[in-house]
Chains A and B, each alone.
Chain A
Amino acid sequence: MATSVGSKFLDLDNGPDSTLLHRELNWLIQDSLGEGEPATLSCAASASSSGSTSSKKVVKLRTCLDDLYRLWKERIEDRRPFQYLVGCEHWRDLVLSVEEGVLIPRPETELIVDFVEDVLAENYGDGLKEGLWADLGTGSGALAIAIGRILGCNGRVIATDLSPVAVAVTEYNVKRYCLQDKVKVKQGSWFEPLEESEVELGGIVSNPPYIPSDNIAGLQAEVSKHEPILALDGGANGMKDLLHLCNGAASMLRPGGFFAFETNGEQQSQFLAGYMESELGGRLVDIKIESDLAGIPRFVKGFKAR
């Protein structure tokens, strides 16, 4: 089934080709093995359509082969994202539960945690490590959880999301990593759920929706048909929420506080950096554009002026 796809999806909407589907099939088999089964089972079955394996050894599966087959059929025929099939996504050193209604965290976003790590290492004396951080539009809770794990013992994270599904999934993921004391999850739009006592933020991170509305229909089917549009559509030019976040950062961050936002790429990053410099009256400083590992200027980061 995976082989027959060839480059059809690739040509159609830049979707996955056979090679990538084979890798996913291996992951599917890996995830469906029972506890205690060797993780390095030889999966020569990658070219076949069901979850059978080539080894003669009997392996315990968590789910029956019919279910596996049905799931894989959904992957190919409905273009349902692999991460929704298996219900989880590997992101940094985390494995996060995801489901329909929640944006699947992207590898690019992993870098935001590196930026925060760098800032915490440099600004230890500045108290950011023990401060209050916000992950706005948290989705699966990826950024909030990763940052919660690198903060000091008094550091806290507030994760907000408008979507009740995202809030539920984030709460679940936070619990899995035993971070209930560290990461607070609140439903609401961007800064709205923050209480008055929470307006002096040490840091703000966000991967807000940034795709221009016109581009949504042309996305690969895995994204446009299955992922929540709320987490993708950034309005006419894709900047609606990013601008809101910039303005919010200028007022909500405490002096010396750090921010990092993910953007659609070069154009948005440059526009945002320019906007911060010219429109926010010097309240945000040290503004830098950072590229992702594919070389696309993906992030805007900086500090609140002291």
Chain B
Amino acid sequence: MASSVFWKSWIRIGSDLVVVPPYNRFSWRCCCYRTARWYKQPNCLAATGNNKINFCAKPSWVTSLSNDIWWGNSDSRRCCGSNVNGSTNGNYKSDYLRISDEELMSQCEMDTFKASGPGGQHRNKRESAVRLKHTPTGIIAQAVEDRSQHKNRASALSRLRTLIALKVRNPVELDAYVPPQELLQILPASSTLRGSRSGPQIGPNNPKYVLGLQALLDLIFAVNGSIKDAAVMLGLSTGALSRLILSDDSLRMAVNEFRASKSMKPLK
């Protein structure tokens, strides 16, 4: 251990502190995909190019959002000239965000990037990257930046939840709309609808944030991308809602891609 000049590092890292290494421009070319068809699927949303990922906070790994929105109900509404494979878009419950990690994992296929050669004791190559494919939706989340397979799996699962929030849409009844509690929780205090029960505003690091994120996108899709209309429904000024959307990169991208599909100007 005398040679271990850095062994102390585990004190910092071992204390459940989320450590997020900044890997820029990590090349995926070195990774072969075990199941090449996933790679080719249009709704394969690869978590690539990690830059300062703060788990759910700023997913620059979200590369594309609008081309494959899933509708979480049996009516076959689509949007954005969706290229979702129609055969898989049927009756299913889309409460993926409310189920436990274990249940969500049970809906996923998990693998690593194919190791060339026999692996195990033969190799020292840190192939601990993990990819999860959520079978019901085909959404893929992966994590590579951590050194252990176990942590990459946790990161991939957390990313999967964000991707589901961004991509799985539930229909909204606009007449007599009442925002769900999860949505109220992510709104700023200036919302007139926030009662004392809503508690302090929660941000992307809170596990419940994704539920609010999903509900907010559901609403914005229901009002055809109009921030003004959505703001009214949420008891907010248009400016306050815009600021909320712009504060989260993945949310901003999702909203702007949807608006672009409706020939609306992007939020800036």
B130 touches A35 (CB 8 A): no
Q: With CB as the reference atom, state the residue of chain B lying closest to A232.
A: B121
Minimum distance in angstroms from A270 CB to a CB of chain B:
15
A90 at the interface (CB under 8 A from B): yes
A42 at the interface (CB under 8 A from B): yes
Minimum distance in angstroms from A170 CB to a CB of chain B:
12
In the complex, what distance in Å separates the CA atom of A23 from the CA atom of B152?
15
Q: Which one of B1-9, B133-141, B192-200, B204-212 is at the A interface? A: B1-9
B26 touches A294 (CB 8 A): no
A108 touches B120 (CB 8 A): yes
Minimum distance in angstroms from A119 CB to a CB of chain B:
16
A159 at the interface (CB under 8 A from B): no
B74 at the interface (CB under 8 A from A): no
Minimum distance in angstroms from A236 CB to a CB of chain B:
16
A89 at the interface (CB under 8 A from B): yes
Q: Which one of B108-116, B166-174, B219-227, B228-236 is at the A interface? A: B108-116
**If A20-B125, A88-B4, A103-B121 touch, does A39 touch B30 (CB 8 Å cutoff)?**
no
- On chain A, the number of residues with a Cβ less than 8 Å from chain B's Cβ atoms is 75
A231 at the interface (CB under 8 A from B): yes
In the complex, what distance in Å separates the CA atom of A222 from the CA atom of B121?
11
In the complex, what distance in Å separates the CA atom of A47 from the CA atom of B10?
25
B27 touches A19 (CB 8 A): yes
In the complex, what distance in Å separates the CA atom of A41 from the CA atom of B29?
25
B125 touches A16 (CB 8 A): yes
In the complex, what distance in Å separates the CA atom of A94 from the CA atom of B13?
9
Which of A17, A20, A67, A95 is close to B5, meaning CB atoms less than 8 Å apart? A67
Q: Point out the residues of chain B lying under 8 angstroms from A106, CB to CB.
A: 119-121, 123
Q: Which one of B16-24, B93-101, B176-184 is at the A interface? A: B16-24
Quick one: which of B112-158 are within 8 Å of A by CB?
112-128, 130, 146-151
A265 touches B6 (CB 8 A): no
- Give A36-68 as 1s and 0s: 1 = Cβ < 8 Å from B's Cβ atoms: 000111111010000000000000001100010
A293 touches B130 (CB 8 A): yes
A115 at the interface (CB under 8 A from B): no
A30 touches B126 (CB 8 A): no
Q: Point out the residues of chain A lying under 8 angstroms from B113, CB to CB.
A: 294
- Give A102-138 as 1s and 0s: 1 = Cβ < 8 Å from B's Cβ atoms: 0110111010000000000000000000000000000
A100 at the interface (CB under 8 A from B): yes
A88 touches B6 (CB 8 A): yes
**If A26-B23, A27-B147, A39-B21 touch, does A231 touch B121 (CB 8 Å cutoff)?**
yes
In the complex, what distance in Å separates the CA atom of A89 from the CA atom of B6?
11
Q: Point out the residues of chain A lying under 8 angstroms from B27, CB to CB.
A: 19
Which of A43, A107, A222 is close to B22, meaning CB atoms less than 8 Å apart? A43
Q: Point out the residues of chain B lying under 8 angstroms from A251, CB to CB.
A: none
A223 at the interface (CB under 8 A from B): yes
Minimum distance in angstroms from B10 CB to a CB of chain A:
3
Q: Point out the residues of chain A lying under 8 angstroms from B10, CB to CB.
A: 88, 95-97, 176
B12 at the interface (CB under 8 A from A): yes
Q: Point out the residues of chain A lying under 8 angstroms from B17, CB to CB.
A: 39
Spell out A's residues near B (CB within 8 Å).
14-17, 19-20, 23-24, 26-27, 30-32, 35, 39-44, 46, 62-63, 67, 71, 81-100, 103-104, 106-108, 110, 169, 172, 176, 207, 209-211, 215, 219-220, 222-223, 227, 231-232, 262, 264-265, 292-296, 298
